[in-house]
Amino acid sequence: MRQELHGMPDRPSAAARVFVILMFAAFVAPFVPLVVASFSFRWHWPDLLPTRWLWNVRDETPFPVGWDYLLSPVSRLGSAFANTVAIGLVVAALALMTGVPAAYVLARYDFRAKGVAEFFLLLPIIVPQVSIGIGMLLLFMRVGLFRTYPGIVLAHLVPALPYAIRILTAMFQNLDPGYEEVARTLGADRLARLRHVTLPLIAAGLATAGLFAFLISTNIFLLTFLISGGRIATLPTMLFSHIGSGGPLDATTAGLVLIVSVPGLLFLFIADRITGSGLSLATAPAGSRAKEDR
Amino acid sequence: MSSITLVGITKSYDGPAVIADLDLHVDTGTVFGLLGPSGCGKTTTLKMIAGLLEPDAGDIRFDGASVLALPPEKRRIGMVFQQPLLFPHLNVEQNVGFGLRMQGMRPRDARPRVRDCLAMVQLERFAERFPHQLSGGQQQRVALARAVVTDPVVLLLDEPLSNLDSRLREQMRQLIRGVQERLKITTIFVSHDQEEASELSDRMAVMFDGRLAQSGRPYDLFMRPESTAVARFLGSTNLLEGHVRAPGLLDTPIGPIAVSCAHGVEAGRTVTVSVRWEHLAIRPVSAGEPPNSFCGIVRDVVFGPTRIRYTVEINDVEIIVVAPTDLEYPRNEPVVVEIPARHVRLLQEAHASATLPG
Ligand SMILES: Nc1ncnc2c1ncn2[C@@H]1O[C@H](COP(=O)(O)OP(=O)(O)OP(=O)(O)O)[C@@H](O)[C@H]1O
Ligand SMILES: [Mg+2]
């Protein structure tokens, strides 16, 4: 049924399958050494595999290392994970809530300040994050947002929102305004149109934009580091504090790197389940698909 | 169920006026056919009546009361757009039921009405399908059902039959007529197809550049076009230029023609006249020709199921004659073409509205 909806053939060709497998391999390959490293105690070049594994040395180390450390309460991994996911979810929700109206206006109306608005939307992507971060830090210290969750969320929105708005704008541009016109002639007021026509037609785009905002948020180190003042830890700040302590990639850091990737994958999986349709970065929003059908 | 009146409507997008000072009236419960070349402003007019576009000037009235202040969702209209625009995330039944749902009706209560409307467009079997699983013509029929399910007082149809094959078109024409007569919905119908427009409409109009060039009963438009532009647009007619030699006598490239129009036109003026294809008579060459007869040679013969179309060359001018099928003249046969004086119409060059004598 889902395949029918997309008008795709039932089976991919052999070439397409090989292509998909290669792509998959390219994405998965970097994770393999990470997994190995996260279980290794001694792994020096040019050895293909670690010479000593963690489970060989478990009783010899004075304190837990690797997964033992990460999964113990001492590491505070749990709270960093929870912080990351919670902040990411709030950022994604806020990015959608403010991004949808903004993108709608950008896509549907022509106004004089449009070029200016579009420029400011690009700005956070062009300007280095340090500049934004220091600027916000100075501002937040004065208004009481320094070292607070709202402060971090606001800071994350600066790079996340432009991405979300770009995706949403493209999606609205793809959506034929005719659907809303038909709905109007059928007696749907603004709210009903949004609920019964526009939102269902842009569901895939919404999920994509939300996913992007979430991913950007969960990957931010610098802004969190600056605004949190070391008080609120997320996975990236935790990871960087481990990398920052120098030395080769130890098992703990390797494990942490793996864990940092979890929220995004989790979110993608859940979002795909919920929209049930075509959440993927490659598919067009539903509205544009319908246009081709005509 | 409600008359439609447009008074002095003017509309421009960004540049020059697309609709200029348009007046239009459609009587309660009648069908008004709107014809015109692409880009003349038909869709713009319908959208203004629907409330989807706001006119720059003028007034739109349903039953004499201005509706300009009403948003489209309050105007009680049904509209079928040039594209079907079925909601892709809803199945056929949900699409048709959309308007009822907006009125707060539960799907279970709406079902009988929806099924009725689907039966009307012969698509009961497709209730569960999604729009992308339908052909273009089926989609248009669903769009029609969706537009009438809420019992609108005004129905606006923007070329709703353009994607259908001729058999379905014929069926849908009867269906629209049937629906319209049963529900007595005041209907404006945009079409590119003259036959369709003339068959469906009580009155019709030809629009050029945002103005109505002529309006009236379909018979009047076809038989009594007032301007060259209307005659040329509606077609099926021979246009001849000529000088007025004397009252009731024109010098044309095919020879002098006696006409019953043009009596009030001063001698020496150049005029254009129109003679419909089917008003000419074609007959074999013989002695004792009636007046207004011209000798020519058959250059082309096209057979139709009910009549034959001849292209006859008279004095290097090609004249088209549509004749009954009882006699057949082969190509290159000399024939005589008779132009009955009373069927020659005098046309105005510009499509202004003053009427000429005749
Ligand atoms: N959104 C718009 N912005 C600017 N100009 C427009 C817009 N929509 C239509 N026009 C112009 O207005 C004129 C009338 O357009 P309209 O769509 O009413 O024509 P139409 O008679 O429906 O043509 P068709 O038979 O091709 O559908 C055209 O010249 C068109 O280019
Ligand atoms: Mg149009």
pLDDT the model gives residue B351? 37
Domain end residue (candidates: B199, B223, B247): B223
B212 and B232, same domain (yes or no): no
B59 and B199, same domain (yes or no): yes
B116 and B257, same domain (yes or no): no
- The answer to the question of residue B357 being in a domain is no
**Residue A8 pLDDT class (50, 70, 90 cuts):** low
Contact B84 A192 (CB under 8 A): no
Contact B132 A290 (CB under 8 A): yes
Question: By C-alpha distance, which of A159, A167, A157, A178 is closest to A106?
Answer: A167
B204 and B292, same domain (yes or no): no
B162 and B236, same domain (yes or no): no
Give the closest of A184, A286, A293 to B73, CB-based. A184
pLDDT the model gives residue A10? 66
Query: Can you give the CATH number for the domain in which B272 is found?
Result: 2.40.50.140
Task: Please give the share of chain B, as a percent, with pLDDT higher than 70.
Answer: 96
Answer with the residue of higher pLDDT: A12 or B292. Answer: B292
B185 and B249, same domain (yes or no): no
Q: What ranges do the domains of chain A cover?
A: 2-71, 76-275
- The answer to the question of residue B356 being in a domain is no
B41 lines ligand 1 (CB under 6 A): yes
**Does the model's ipTM exceed the 0.90 cut?**
no
- The answer to the question of residue B107 being in a domain is yes
Span B84-103, pLDDT tens digits: 999 999 999 999 999 999 99
**How big is chain B by its Cα radius of gyration, in Å?**
24
CA distance B57 to B60: 10
- The answer to the question of residue B139 being in a domain is yes
* Homologous superfamily of A76-275: MetI-like (1.10.3720.10)
Query: Can you give the CATH number for the domain in which B190 is found?
Result: 3.40.50.300
Which residues of A fall within a CB distance of 8 Å from B102?
A: 183, 186-188, 192, 196
Span B20-52, pLDDT tens digits: 999 999 999 999 999 999 999 999 999 999 999
Specify the residue with its C-alpha closest to ligand 1, atom 10: B13
Structural domain of B329: 228-350
Q: Which residues contact B171 (CB under 8 A, 6 or more apart)?
A: B122
Number of domains in chain B: 2
- Cα angle B77, B78, B81 (rounded to 5 degrees) comes to 125
B53 and B87, same domain (yes or no): yes
- The answer to the question of residue B355 being in a domain is no
Average pLDDT over residues B197-212: 92
Q: Pairing relation of β-strands B4-12 and A52-53?
A: unpaired
Span A179-201, pLDDT tens digits: 999 999 999 999 999 899 998 99
Domain end residue (candidates: B170, B191, B223): B223
Asked if B73 reaches chain A (Cβ–Cβ under 8 Å), the answer is: yes
Question: By C-alpha distance, which of A266, A271, A250 is closest to A68?
Answer: A250
B22 and B148, same domain (yes or no): yes
Residue B40 CA: nearest ligand 1 atom is 21
B245 and B103, same domain (yes or no): no
Domain end residue (candidates: B167, B202, B223): B223
Contact A182 B139 (CB under 8 A): no
B22 and B48, same domain (yes or no): yes
B141: buried, middle or exposed (CB in 10 Å: 19+, 13-18, 0-12)? buried
Residue A12 scores a pLDDT above 60: yes
- The answer to the question of residue B273 being in a domain is yes
- The answer to the question of residue B358 being in a domain is no
B279 and B166, same domain (yes or no): no
CA distance A205 to A174: 10
Amino acid at residue number B71: P
Query: Could you tell me if B217 and B33 are in contact, meaning their C-beta atoms sit under 8 angstroms apart?
Result: no
